Amino acid sequence: MVVAGNPRLQIRVLTTPVSLPCSTVSLPKSLSSGFGRNSRRRCTLILNNCQRPKRDGLELERWSEKKGSELERLSGKKGSELFLNSVSPFPLLMFLATLPGSEALKSALGPAIPLVRSFDLPDWLIHWGHPGNMAVVLFAMGGYGTYLGFRIRFSDDKEEIAKAKDLHPKLLGGMFFFFSLGALGGITSLLTSDKPILDSPHAVTAVIGLTLLTIQAILPSRFQENPGLRNVHGILGSSIMVIFLVHAVLGLQLGLSF
């Protein structure tokens, strides 16, 4: 990378696959003058969520001044080289957000898509029907079922515990059932709208959540043999709810993207 004001200053760029805003960094005079003919310094500059700025001169000048200030602040560290690191998590997320089996699902559900389209359903229902139904399942069945799980662990009322033990597995079992059906509904909705089905973080979190729900459903059968699994069951259940909350946010983002 060329450094304006001091061509002798060597900057090594370590970056994830993300576009840096420009290829020239203008260092302030107080910094560039501090690097002599044989002087090399080492510091780390992390650029979060790098995006290419507008091409007009004012925008590039503002970016240069900002990064120059960061370099000046970091230049006091001892070392032999100056490293410019660009870090962004989004390429990693996009790498992970691709699941196999897309073509198989399209082949299996493809014959049903013309039938769904023949119903002439409103666009808003096709688009938002799945997230609306899943939100009700998540917050009504999942939320209350989770609350009952905590009451089983921490309540002193035997009658309340007995009722919670009866209702808790029914609610969470129902959540698993409707989430499984909802996954098919969501895929059908995307296929009806001619959108990709398994290449989003929303799809990834759905698979993770349903897999963990399956494990969660198996754990109670082992409680008598291993009472310690009750703690695992409680922690895992809370973690699953967090995952599905993130899943809901990603679904809303996906729905607003088209």
| Secondary structure of residue 242 in the 3-state scheme | helix
Q: Examine the fold and report which residue of 32, 58, 90 is the final residue of a domain before the chain moves on.
A: 90
Q: What is the pLDDT of residue 50?
A: 43
* Shared domain check, 140 and 79: no
pLDDT of residue 176: 94
Whether residues 168 and 68 share a domain: the answer is no
Residues 82 and 124 in one domain: no
CA proximity to 220, closest of 231, 233, 207 = 233
Helices (H), the chain: 29-32, 57-74, 90-96, 102-109, 112-118, 123-136, 143-154, 158-192, 201-218, 229-256
pLDDT given for residue 108 in this prediction: 87
Which residues form the domain of 49? 2-90
Q: Are 63 and 103 part of one and the same domain?
A: no
Q: What is the b/e burial string over 178-205, where b = at least 16 CB atoms within 10 angstroms of the residue's CB? A: bbeebbeebbbbbbbeeeebbebbbbbb
Ramachandran quadrant class, 90 (left: phi over 0; alpha: psi -120 to 50; beta: rest):
alpha
Residue 116: give its domain's CATH number.
1.20.120.1770
Whether residue 138 is found in the same domain as residue 51 = no
Across residues 13-38, what is the average pLDDT?
Answer: 43
Question: In the chain, what percentage of residues exceed pLDDT 70?
Answer: 61
Which of residues 60, 90, 120 is at a domain's end?
Answer: 90
Domain end, chosen from 90, 110, 145, is at 90
Same domain, 217 and 128: yes
> What pLDDT digit, counting tens, does each position of 77-118 carry?
444 455 555 545 445 445 455 567 788 888 888 888 999 999
- Per-residue pLDDT tens digits for 158-202: 999 999 999 999 999 999 999 999 999 999 999 999 898 888 899
Give the torsion sign (CA, 207, 212, 215, 217): negative
- For the entire predicted model, the pTM comes to 0.61
Confidence of residue 213 (pLDDT cuts 50, 70, 90): very high
Cross-strand bridge partners of residue 24: 2
43 and 140 both lie in a single domain:
no
The two tokens of residue 143 are 């939320």
Q: Are residues 209 and 116 in the same domain?
A: yes
Identify whether residues 206 and 109 lie together within a single domain: yes
Say how far residue 39 (Cα) sits from the centre of its chain.
43
In the chain, the number of structural domains is: 2
Asked if 32 and 152 sit in the same domain, the reply is no
Looking at the structure, do residues 115 and 207 belong to the same domain, yes or no? yes
pLDDT averaged over the chain?
Answer: 75
| Dist. CA 5–CA 29, nearest whole Å | 7
Residue 208: pLDDT band with limits 50, 70, 90 = very high
Q: Which pLDDT belongs to residue 160?
A: 95
For residues 197 and 219, membership in a common domain is answered with yes
pLDDT at position 131, please? 94
